[in-house]
Amino acid sequence: MAEERFLVTGALGCIGAWVVRNLVRDGYATAVLDVGGNPHRLKLIMSEDELARVQFITGDITDLATVEAAVKDSGATRLIHLAALQVPFCRADPALGAKVNVVGTVHMFEAAKRAGLKQLVYASSIAVFGHSEDYGEGPLAHGARLSPNTHYGVYKQANEGTAQIYWQDDGLASIGLRPYTVYGAARDQGMTSGPTKAMLAAAAGQPYHIAFGGTGVFQYTDDTAKTFVRAALAPITGAEVYNVGGASLHMREIVAAIEAEAPAAAGKVTFDDKPLPFPEAVDDAAITAALGALPKTPLAQGVRETVAIFRAALADGRVAVQ
């Protein structure tokens, strides 16, 4: 168990920070490969002692030699690949988005293969799917048709194809996970970061307007992180990709949960009732069958923990309202 060594790419980001926190608390040797140099998201949710146990490697996944060196230097036996540019960044610079999200992901598979690793886990996204009305009634089925409507979604679809070919040609197994709207401390960028930014503003007693609404699936950061860790440790073959489950909620329920936790914010959190271009609910029976029951923190608890982390971090200056 604990003799496994993890390399997590993009782990200065939101989900990565929570993955690292889980790994360190579970006693795993953990290395981070990220192009960024500031561990501010990890500092929100980990102690200095915990951070001191992490090996930080600064490097860009668009460079294969960098990725290979990181795999070697970390002695990684398990890879969790999260580094990516999110929807707004890919929209602003599609070529850079393709370089990081598509070529960078090819580099992760290639480096894993060259290091003789047998499997890896990577982040795909709900953004490989289209609008709710494209899929008929009921939760989105496992294996539903991909129909991305952003550059980002197209790049994630390419990642899933890359994974298939590395399994077919090289026997390198993988699991791709498709999170939906992840919320929780450290979620400060990306198209669906509004609800968490609202939690931060509410913790500071300030107003916030969320730029989307409608009904979608919400996943607490810690649950998402635990799902990645579970997938990374699972004995697998093939190149399966799973939709990650969670509660299907309307934005008004998110706002109500924020107001319940931060009553001073009552009436100050607003939203555009414009749904995301994704299905409203997902069927997660396939991932549950593959990995077992996965954590699903109730919304009220997730918001309570998030607001508490933000209050503590606002008090000592580790975070500021954006």
- Residues near ligand NAD (CB under 6 A) are 9-10, 12-16, 34-36, 60-62, 82-86, 100, 104, 123, 125-126, 179, 181-182, 189-190, 192
Contact assessment for residue 149 and residue 157, using Cβ atoms and an 8 Å cutoff:
no
- Cβ at position 298, least distance to ligand NAD in Å: 18
Residue of 215, 281, 214, 275 whose CA lies nearest to 244: 281
- Cβ at position 3, least distance to ligand NAD in Å: 26
Phi, psi angle pair for 244, to nearest 5°: -90, 135
Of 29 and 244, nearer to ligand NAD (C-beta) is 244
Of 104 and 279, nearer to ligand NAD (C-beta) is 104
Of 115 and 207, nearer to ligand NAD (C-beta) is 115
Phi, psi angle pair for 174, to nearest 5°: -155, 160
Of 14 and 31, nearer to ligand NAD (C-beta) is 14
For residue 145, what are the contacts with CB-CB under 8 A and spacing of at least 6? 134, 135
Contact assessment for residue 297 and residue 223, using Cβ atoms and an 8 Å cutoff:
yes
- Cβ at position 241, least distance to ligand NAD in Å: 12
Of 13 and 268, nearer to ligand NAD (C-beta) is 13
- Residue with the shortest CB distance to ligand NAD: 13
Contact assessment for residue 175 and residue 187, using Cβ atoms and an 8 Å cutoff:
no
> DSSP label at 61?
T
- Cβ at position 16, least distance to ligand NAD in Å: 5
Separation CA 203–CA 311 (nearest Å): 6
- Cβ at position 175, least distance to ligand NAD in Å: 13
Residue 208 is inside which H or E element, if any?
strand 208-210
- Cβ at position 229, least distance to ligand NAD in Å: 14
- Cβ at position 221, least distance to ligand NAD in Å: 8
Of 93 and 134, nearer to ligand NAD (C-beta) is 93
Separation CA 256–CA 263 (nearest Å): 10
User: Helix, strand, coil: what percent of the chain each, to 5?
Assistant: 45, 20, 35
Tokens at 188, concatenated: 């400060």
Of 81 and 268, nearer to ligand NAD (C-beta) is 81
